[in-house]
Amino acid sequence: MQNFDYIRVKSKDELSELLDKQNKEIKLLSGGTDLIPQLREGKKDIEIIVDVKNINEMNELSFDNTLGLYIGAAVSCLNICQDVKVKTMYPGLIDAISLIGGVQIQGRASVGGNLCNSSPAADSIPALIVHKSICIIESKDGIREVPVEQFCTGPGKNVLNKNEFLAGIRVPKVDPEFGAAYLRFIPRNEMDIAVVGVGASVEIKEGHITTARLALGAVDATPRYFDDVFEPLLGMAINDENLDRILDDIGQSISTRINPITDMRGSAEQRKHLSKVLTKRTLLKAIERASNQQEVN
């Protein structure tokens, strides 16, 4: 591994200041579960590693009745998954976040890191997208907000400018009508990167589907958001006998609109096939969650 300097910052201001002034190659370190292996594989241009996980504001995990959930960029997956509020209100997020690595990875990995690493296969991203989540990006120049589906721009690439960092993610408050889920396919049961991952959310009012969202990972250069394939679902009763067929059709149409690659984790054809299968399964799970949610209330 090439040598680099290590700086620990204690506040967002300190971080903004540092990013603004430095003309050296900087990388932020959160849990390091992506960054450290990458450095070891020979990313040579990095001169300074700035550790952001000791910034209190970036470890904030809070819920507000109007704004919804705020996940500081450095909060570990473990802390999110242990949070009772997140567990009960956002099971679709937990689906995804709890899948990131095994126990040893969970304690270090952050959702902020998962987003900023911007892998097309990152598990949290499709789930965040279908929750309509927003990236809060900060710099010396101020704060800007970017919907998660617009954050990644290519494998390992995102909208962050050199002087910017991800401060946190805001996940809007969900209504009782809302249900979301994330499913991924991996050959083993743990310790694999998604061959395909699908996030879905729906809202159900009086037994009828009123909105639906779908996002897929590992099927293109960035996670893909589909907001238009749901016309056939809208207004449909959740016990409609045609639901099954329509979900198949949606899966089919999705599988023709993605551009998966063939690599060691799966072939393009297999990924298309799995996209179809998982689209249906994930939507069904989201529908089930939304309807159970209403029974509870």
Partner 1 sequence: MNMKKFIQTSINNERVEFICEPRDSLLSILRENLRLTGTKEGCNNGNCGACNVIIDGVLVNSCLVLAVEVEGKKIETIEGLAGKDDLHPIQNAFLEEAALQCGICTPGFIIATKNLLDINPNPTEQEIRKSLAGNLCRCTGYDKIVRAVIDVAKISNNKGDE
Partner 2 sequence: MQESNLVREKKKFQVIGTRPKRPDGTDKVTGRALYGGDINLPSMIYGEILRSPHAHAKIISIDYQEALAIEGVKAVITAEDFPSLEDVTKKVGEGAVNIRYRSNNILAKEKVLYQGHPIAAVAAKDKNIARLAIEKIIVKYEILSPVLDVREAMKEDAPILLEELRTVSMGEKIDKPTNIAKHIQLKRGNIEDSFAESDIIIEREFYTSMVHQGYIEPQSVTALYNNDGDISVWTSTQGAFIAQQQISDVLNIPLSKINVIPMEIGGGFGGKVSVYLDPVAILLSKKSGSLPVKITMSRKDVLMATGPTSGSYIKVKLGAKNNGIFTAVHAYLAYEAGAYPGSPVGGGAVSLFAPYKLDHLLIDAYDVVVNKPKSEPYRAPGTTNAIFASESIIDEIAVKLKIDPIELRLINAVKEGDRRIDGPTYGRIGLIEILEEIKAHPHYHSKLRGKYQGRGIATGFWFNYAGKSSVYASINGDGTVNLIEGSTDIGGSRASMAMQLAETMELPYESIIPKVVDTNSIGYTEGTYGSRTTYSTGWATHNLGNELIRLMKEKAAAHFETEIGNIVYSKGNFTSSDKEISFIDLAKLMKGNPVTASSSIHPKRASPGFGTHIVDVEVDPETYKVTILRYTAFQDVGTAIHPSYVEGQIQGGVVQGIGWALNEEYIYDDTGNLVNHTLLDYRMPTSYDLPMIDTVLIEVPDPDHPFGVKGVGEVPIVPPAAAIANAINDAIGHRLNRLPMSPKNIFESINQVK
Ligand X SMILES: Cc1cc2nc3c(=O)[nH]c(=O)nc-3n(C[C@H](O)[C@H](O)[C@H](O)COP(=O)(O)OP(=O)(O)OC[C@H]3O[C@@H](n4cnc5c(N)ncnc54)[C@H](O)[C@@H]3O)c2cc1C
User: Looking at 14, 32, 132, 211, which residue binds ligand X (CB under 6 A)?
Assistant: 32
* 117 part of the interface to ligand X, by CB under 6 A: yes
- How many other CB atoms sit within 10 Å of the CB of residue 101? 19
CA distances from 215 to 41, 80, 116, 230 (A): 30, 21, 18, 12
- Site size toward partner 1 (CB under 8 A) is 28
Which residues, numbered 6-25, are part of the site for partner 1 (CB under 8 A)? 6, 8
* 287 part of the interface to ligand X, by CB under 6 A: no
Distance CA 260, CA 273 (A): 11
Out of partner 2, ligand X, partner 1, none, which partner does residue 267 contact, by CB within 5 to 8 A per kind?
Answer: partner 2
User: Looking at 9, 78, 100, 186, which residue binds partner 1 (CB under 8 A)?
Assistant: 78
Which residues are registered as beta bridge partners of 131? none
| DSSP secondary structure of 234-288 | TT-BTT-TTHHHHHHHHHHHHHHH-----BTTB-HHHHHHHHHHHHHHHHHHHHH
* 99 part of the interface to ligand X, by CB under 6 A: yes
- Cβ 81 to partner 1, closest distance in Å? 12
Distance CA 280, CA 250 (A): 8
Q: Using CB positions, name the residue nearest to ligand X.
A: 113
- Residue ranges in contact with partner 1 by CB under 8 A: 1-6, 8, 29, 32-33, 36-37, 39-40, 49, 51, 76, 78, 101-105, 107-108, 189-191
